[in-house]
Structure 1
Amino acid sequence: MTTPEATGLATVGAATALLDAYRPGSARFFASPTRTLLAHGAQAEVAHDARPLAIRVAETLDAASPVGGRAPIVLGAVPFDQSAPAALVVPDAATWGPPLSADPLIALAAPAPAATAWDIRPVPAPDVYRAGVAEAVRRMRAGAFDKVVLARTLELRSPDPLDIPVMLQRLARRDPQGYTFAVPGVTPGRTLLGASPELLVSRDGDRVVANPLAGSAKRSTDLAEDVRRAMALLESEKDLHEHAVVVAAVRAALAPYCDTLEVPDRPTLVCTAAMWHLSTTVTGTIRGNESPASALELACTLHPTPAVCGTPTAIARDTIADLEPFDRGLYTGMVGWGDANGDGEWVVTIRCAEADADTLRLYAGAGIVEASSPDAETAETEAKFRTFLHAVADER
């Protein structure tokens, strides 16, 4: 679905106007390195039943009307557990724009967050999380499995109503080259918003791209130290092993659907304002047949990758259920859009929070392998919380 706005032929203010126009409720916002999308309303919701999600989405799109003069799209979020209800709709209206990074106005300062006396409660407490990491390492050393991703949350309560549009502005303007989103959650009155660095998969015509990230390091405000941390990450045996496991899983999942698949031998580095990540861009050509796999079908096949779950998947899932004292819900699911032609972009739902009238629930996780340290993994989750904490408080 290559469009003029997706190729960088941008009008100044075209993308930021969509960002400025977002209001929570029935609006849905999604920005990527290729385009910006603002949608309103819901002409249809994707039904929840026992059939595979991709089949239900295709059925919904087949019955839908064009959106904005183009093929109908589905937009929203899918939970970590694909058998749970998703928050996907065909909108009534959609406006497409160029990427935020191509709009010079994105460099303007974001609005300041409201001064709020936040009540912050970690779930689980850091010492409980460290104990969970230690237990996971113990099980791995006993040969139970190879990797698990363990997450924790911060619950922030405000005495005042939340200003979600300001949070979205701050997320988007801090990392305009990433994937910024704000969509209604599964529960009425809740909004899922965040700034993910990780593309699960996209399809544009016959071109398929996946960009798994695994292996992370906190950034430093000191340039020399920041470079040192980046180089250390590139040479870390622990992080390179963790990354290789994820890339191998992505290759294996995509190969049956692609005629060609290119996978670099070694990862490169990508960064957000808060973190360095090991990154591999996997590219392929969709298999030419009468019914090529849609972007959503590919995403459902890939999800969950070892980057958000672990390996082997079934044992990692059981370990997560055993050691995480909360339901992930939409966290580490996927968020994005897909159209009736099979094109779309789906990103991993990380660096995110769920918001209601006065409460935020932030999520962060870390990949645990045999070489993991409970203290280091806890520190990694603290660093990942910074992406969203910056959106609610300048001093973060």
Structure 2
Amino acid sequence: MSARLREHPAPALLSPGAATALLEAYRPGTDRFLSSPRHTLLGRGTAAEIPHGTDPLAHRVRDVLDGLRRPDAPAPLVMGSIPFAPAAPPALAVPDMVHWAPALREDPLVALPVAAGPHRPDWRVREVPSPERYGQAVAAAVARMRAGEFDKVVLARTLELTSAREPDLPTMLRRLAQRDPSGYSFALPSGPGRTLVGASPELLVSRRGGVLTANPLAGSAPRSADLAEDVRRAAALLESAKDLHEHAVVATAVREALAPFCTRLEVPERPTLVRTAALWHLSTTVTGELSDPAVTALDLACALHPTPAVCGTPTETARAVIAESEPFDRGPYTGMVGWQDADGDGEWVVTIRCAEAEGRTLRLFAGAGVVAESTPEAETAETAAKFRTFLHAVGADL
């Protein structure tokens, strides 16, 4: 096993199976696992934590990482999650050791079947809010938008799953990663006694040297097991006026947030399609060249967060509607998860398709973008489709 692990920074490709070895090595507690289409990381132990405070988060991260720099040693990096609420404390730490491997999607071993755990949890499920209450919140938001109060809001709901046993998080993570190995899989502490685990399809922003990449997703449709129907749904999504409008709002917001940092910024005029195991998404890949090399990946991520894809527009009005409409605290959901090194490179992913585990309880999150053309039935169905990825991983059938 040790021969397959590699300390930061990431080098050339390692032996086949290295990414799966890191995935299988993950253990809840102080381990932090992240995979992306570029590479796989496993952080172990905690050398330092990023403190909560009033200074900008990117500055606090920079100060901690600069303080840990050592001559002739790899640049230290921070890993973790940042919550949706701006005043909430982050769950960011510098691991004692970071091991790297190639991307999971390049690993032939990731497709091997995941062994079933010794016990299948007998989940008790509580919907918060109920589908009926969620539909009422969507209808109320639509009425306010049609009256001209705001343009868009993302409303979420949760499933609270409770079992007699604590969930098997390593098996859950492996199933999530296997289901979408080209996405962004993660499992890491999100607070005292809590673990955030998920598989997001959406890159918020990455920085590699002087180049940035963002990949906003907005507008989605459920997949179908029937090939012809699946193709029809994908084609319909590309022509949906409602979804194209929703996506354009997000792409415009991303362009406006990133433009001040760039000498060049490329934003395609029309979105393309990306697929996960459960959904089709409208996608735009934004690329740019930074004008200031001191700007870090987290500087860019904080400038973007929250995008209209997870909050709405105008941002502050949408936040207020979310607070009025959602009977729960989002916590890390629709925040961001990722890593950044002391040189400023890193990747930050939008925290969706996720759950937070605490003891014997697992809370799943799913949201839908609500615009003036939305209907309660369609948005409730969209959140149900988004739950399926995680329900597959935990073995719960609703």
**TM-score with structure 2 setting the length:** 0.95
- For residues 95-148 of structure 1, give each alpha carbon's deviation from its aligned partner in whole angstroms, at most 9, with x where no partner exists: 011000011111111233542211000000000000000000000001000000
Which residues in structure 2 correspond to 1:1-396 (within 5 Å)?
A: 3-5=10-12, 9-65=13-69, 69-112=73-116, 114-186=119-191, 188-287=192-291, 289=292, 291-393=293-395
Q: For 2:16 and 2:94, how far apart are their aligned partners in 1?
A: 29
8 Å Cα contact 2:9/2:75 also seen in 1:
no
- For residues 162-209 of structure 1, give each alpha carbon's deviation from its aligned partner in whole angstroms, at most 9, with x where no partner exists: 1100000000001000000001012x1110000000000000001100
Distance apart, 1:394 and its partner CA:
7.1
- For residues 25-82 of structure 1, give each alpha carbon's deviation from its aligned partner in whole angstroms, at most 9, with x where no partner exists: 0100000000000001111110101111001111111111469952000100000012
8 Å Cα contact 1:67/1:91 also seen in 2:
no
- For residues 261-299 of structure 1, give each alpha carbon's deviation from its aligned partner in whole angstroms, at most 9, with x where no partner exists: 111110000011011100000001111x4x531000000
Look up the SS of the partner of 1:4 in the other structure: coil
Q: For 1:384 and 1:229, how far apart are their aligned partners in 2?
A: 16
Percent identity, aligned pairs only, is: 65
8 Å Cα contact 1:67/1:73 also seen in 2:
no
Distance apart, 1:356 and its partner CA:
1.7
8 Å Cα contact 2:34/2:42 also seen in 1:
yes
Q: For 1:395 and 1:146, how far apart are their aligned partners in 2?
A: 35
**TM-score with structure 1 setting the length:** 0.96
- For residues 296-318 of structure 1, give each alpha carbon's deviation from its aligned partner in whole angstroms, at most 9, with x where no partner exists: 00000000000000000010000
Look up the SS of the partner of 1:391 in the other structure: helix
Look up the SS of the partner of 2:109 in the other structure: helix
Distance apart, 1:4 and its partner CA:
3.5
Q: For 1:111 and 1:231, how far apart are their aligned partners in 2?
A: 37
Q: For 1:372 and 1:311, how far apart are their aligned partners in 2?
A: 15
Distance apart, 1:217 and its partner CA:
0.5
Structure 1: runs of 5 or more not aligned: none
Of residues 306-315 and 10-19 in structure 1, the stretch that sits farther from structure 2 once superposed is: 10-19
CA RMSD of aligned residues (A): 1.6
- AA matched with 1:238: K
Look up the SS of the partner of 2:68 in the other structure: coil
Look up the SS of the partner of 2:232 in the other structure: helix
Aligned residues: 390
8 Å Cα contact 1:26/1:184 also seen in 2:
yes
Q: For 1:67 and 1:220, how far apart are their aligned partners in 2?
A: 54
8 Å Cα contact 1:134/1:373 also seen in 2:
yes
Distance apart, 1:159 and its partner CA:
1.0
Q: For 1:178 and 1:67, how far apart are their aligned partners in 2?
A: 35
Q: For 2:125 and 2:20, how far apart are their aligned partners in 1?
A: 31
- AA matched with 2:186: F
